[in-house]
Each structure stands twice: as C-alpha cells, then as structure tokens.
Amino acid sequence: MKFPHLFFSLSIILILYSCSEDTDCCPQPANSNAYETGIFVLNEGNFGSGNSTVSFIDEENGVQESQIFKSVNSVALGDTGQSIKLYEGLAIIVLNVSNKIELVNRYTFKSVGSIEANLSNPRYAEVINDKIYVSNWGDGMNASDDYIAVFDLSDFSFIEKIDVPEGPEALISANNKLFVAHKGGFTFNNIVSVIDATTNTLQAQIEVGDAPNSMALNENRLWVLSGGKPSYADTETAGKLSGININTNTVEEELEFNDVSSHPDHLVKNGGALYYNLGKEIYQYSTGNSELPEAAVLTVDEPAVLYGMQVNNSKLYVSSPNPDFTGNGKLYVYDLTNGILLKQYTVGVNPNGVYFNN
C-alpha cells in the first residue's frame, strides 16, 4: 500500500539531486525587479472605458511589455490615468475618472496600496515630508470646490484638505514648499499658489500667464510655462514663460511669446536647458537668456498629436495617440542633436506621459 508513496518520494529525491548538479535543468524564478531600469509610459485610455494601462520599455535590452499593472496584479489599473509620481521605491499612479490612486513598488509594479476616498477629479501628486499631496479639481465647472488632498506616506491614510483657487494642476516641491500651477479646470486661471508644507497653509499666490500647464525647477528658479488662452476662449492670449524666485515667491523673469496664437506646452528640463513645444516644433531655451528662441531645434513629423514629451540623455521622447484617439498609440524617440528618429514603439491607448525609472 505504501509502495506508490515510496516511488514518488524517490523520484523527488532524484529530481532535486539532478538539479543540484545542473543548475540549468530547473526553471529559475523570474527577476523580481523586472522594471528596475527603463521607461514607463502612462496610457490614459478612453474616458469612461476603464482601459488605462502602463507600458514598460527597456531600451538597452530591447524589452517591451504592455499592461504591466494588470500583468503583475491581475486586475485592471482603472479609468483615465492622469499622471505618475516616482518617489523613492514607489510609483504613485493618479487615475482621474476612477477618483483613485494606485501605489506600486516601482521596481516590481506589485501593488502596495490604493487610495479611493477624499479624491475628486485628481490630477497630479507630489511628496514632501512623508506626505502625499494631490491636486483635485472637484467639479470642473465649480470654481470654489478645488483642493489639495494630503495623505500620510506611511499608510496612505487621509490627513486633510487644503482649499485652493480654481484648477490646480501640476505640482512641484522646493524649499519645504508645494508650488501649484492653476491651469483653471474647465475654464482658465493664471496663478501659481504656494503652500507651506510644514503647516499645510496657503502662503502666497503668484500671478503668471494664462493657463499654466507645466513647471520645471532649475536651482533657485521655478520656471512656469503658461499656454495662454486658446482661440475658442472669449479672448485669445499668448503664452508666457515665467521665472519665479523660490525663496521670495516673486516673478523675476517673464518672457512673452510674440504671436497671440502661440500656445506652448510640455516644459521639461535637461541639464541647464529648458525644452517646450509649439505644435510639433521643439524649442530649447537656455536659462539666463533675455529672449525666447526664434528657431526650433527640431520638428517631429511622425506623431499624430504631441500628447506627452520628455528629454533624457540627448534624446527626445514624444508620446502620441493614434489620429482618432481610439487605438494604440506610439512612443517616438529622437536624437535631440540632429532630429533623427531613432526608434518607435507601439504602446497603449492615448499615451500621455513618459517616466524614466532608474
């Protein structure tokens, strides 16, 4: 009666012995830090469809994966991914329509928690003093319900809300302060608010150009790019680039675009230079210059729409949806020195952001 069990036990012993002699015979565990070095592309998906995803690209080793959150955690990410904040070992993924934040280990993409309360139209996240700050529009048509939600980084519990002016969007921290660009929700605003991260109180409101859309920090200067009001607004206005002294909370430099129809976007920093786009033209501004550049450093013809942009190691990364914003989009990689298209990758639906994990 015991012979079958004895035979099974002997078989296991032989297998284990064989594996100890030859390490190639047995399957080895997958790399637990599979996403340690590479690029994350956030694909927002279609509004209301719950098809937001994150793609991963390892340029050096030619590895590409789609839907890594679902692959690792066996659940869908959510609806309309807005942004990702990488901080220490975390990736903080803000999902606008889901009114949710997913938090994962940035190297394994394994879920470590989620936040689903005290959010309303969340946009961007920043971390200061072990606290997560999240900009929220509330009702985009209500000018008085906008706020910054504050959560504890250790357990993701809610701490408080900070009421702010309409349309808080991009966030950046410096000098124990949170700088908030107020693009304006479904309307238009023209300020950067400053929050003291120790007391969580509103410290200052700084007037910049209309519809500030992106910010970059360079030493003691916070550069704010304002797109200006578009042609469908009551009055179209040109974009502006404003330099704010982060110690005094004052605008010390302001450069206005000459053409009222010029609406710049996607300000990013690389070294001592700032980059932004006007349509499909990419411009480089060297801080300290008293004038904006007249000529683009390159023009990108391949993207249907320039939906997201980053610069890293002399390469320009442009994410683009397909022309009708329904199918999978593309990530295009250009040599910033000569404008040559180096590589293109198919990613998810409506890719809006590129993040370097290293």
Distances (CA, A) of 248 to 175, 179, 235, 253: 11, 13, 32, 13
DSSP class of 27: P
Provide the residue-wise pLDDT of the chain in tens; the chain has 358 residues.
333 333 333 343 333 333 333 333 333 334 579 999 999 999 999 999 999 999 999 999 999 999 999 999 999 999 999 999 999 999 999 999 999 999 999 999 999 999 999 999 999 999 999 999 999 999 989 999 999 999 999 999 999 999 999 999 999 999 999 999 999 999 999 999 999 999 999 999 999 999 999 999 999 999 999 999 999 999 999 999 999 999 999 999 999 999 999 999 999 999 889 999 999 999 999 998 999 999 999 999 999 999 999 999 999 999 999 999 999 999 999 999 999 999 999 999 999 999 999 8
**DSSP-derived 3-state class of residue 72:** helix
End-to-end CA distance of the chain: 58
Residue 255 · residue 291 · CB < 8 Å = yes
Rounded distance between C-alpha atoms, residue 176 and residue 340, angstroms: 41
Q: What phi, psi does 119 have (nearest 5°)?
A: -125, 140
Residues 6+ positions from 201 with CB-CB distance below 8 Å: 162, 195
Rounded distance between C-alpha atoms, residue 9 and residue 339, angstroms: 64
Rounded distance between C-alpha atoms, residue 8 and residue 161, angstroms: 62
Rounded distance between C-alpha atoms, residue 76 and residue 93, angstroms: 13
Residue 255 · residue 264 · CB < 8 Å = no
Rounded distance between C-alpha atoms, residue 4 and residue 43, angstroms: 54
Question: In which order are the strands placed within the sheet that holds 38-43?
Answer: 63-65, 53-58, 38-43, 351-357
CA angle 344, 347, 350 (to 5 degrees): 115
Task: Enter the tokens of residue 73.
Answer: 């955690």
Burial of 21 (0-12, 13-18, 19+ CB in 10 A): exposed
Burial of 206 (0-12, 13-18, 19+ CB in 10 A): buried
Nearest to 117 by CA among 130, 97, 101: 101
Residues 6+ positions from 71 with CB-CB distance below 8 Å: 65, 109
DSSP class of 143: T
Q: What phi, psi does 9 have (nearest 5°)?
A: -65, -40
Residue 20 confidence (pLDDT): 38
Q: How many CB atoms lie within 10 A of CB 235?
A: 9
E strands, 2-99, are: 38-43, 53-58, 63-65, 81-87, 90-95
Q: What is the pTM of this model?
A: 0.91
Task: Enter the tokens of residue 299.
Answer: 């023009």
Distances (CA, A) of 310 to 52, 118, 267: 20, 31, 9
Rounded distance between C-alpha atoms, residue 33 and residue 105, angstroms: 9
Instruction: Report strand pairing: 298-299 vs 281-286.
Output: antiparallel
